[in-house]
Amino acid sequence: MDIQLLIVIAIITAAIAYGGLTLFRKRRSFSTKGGCGSDCGCSGSSKKLTS
């Protein structure tokens, strides 16, 4: 296997890993609401609107 092909495989693997990691991070933001608790007041621990 020539050196160019090896480097290309490494670059493509890195790109796929980065894409996977980004998707994983997105999945977390899709699934949780706790992250915004102290900011937007909409988490379970926040109080209900009073009026």
Asked whether position 4 contacts other proteins by CB under 8 A, the answer is yes
Whether residue 37 contacts residue 46, with contact meaning beta carbons closer than 8 Å, is answered with yes
- Minimum CB separation from other proteins for residue 31, in Å? 8
* 5 near other proteins (CB under 8 A): yes
* Residue whose tokens read 């608790």: 37
The 15-44 contact track toward other proteins, x by CB under 8 A, reads xx-xx--x---x--xxxxx-xxxxxxxx--
Do 48 and 42 touch, CB atoms closer than 8 A?
Answer: no
Q: How far apart are CA 8 and CA 37, in angstroms?
A: 43
Q: Does 2 bind other proteins (CB under 8 A)?
A: yes
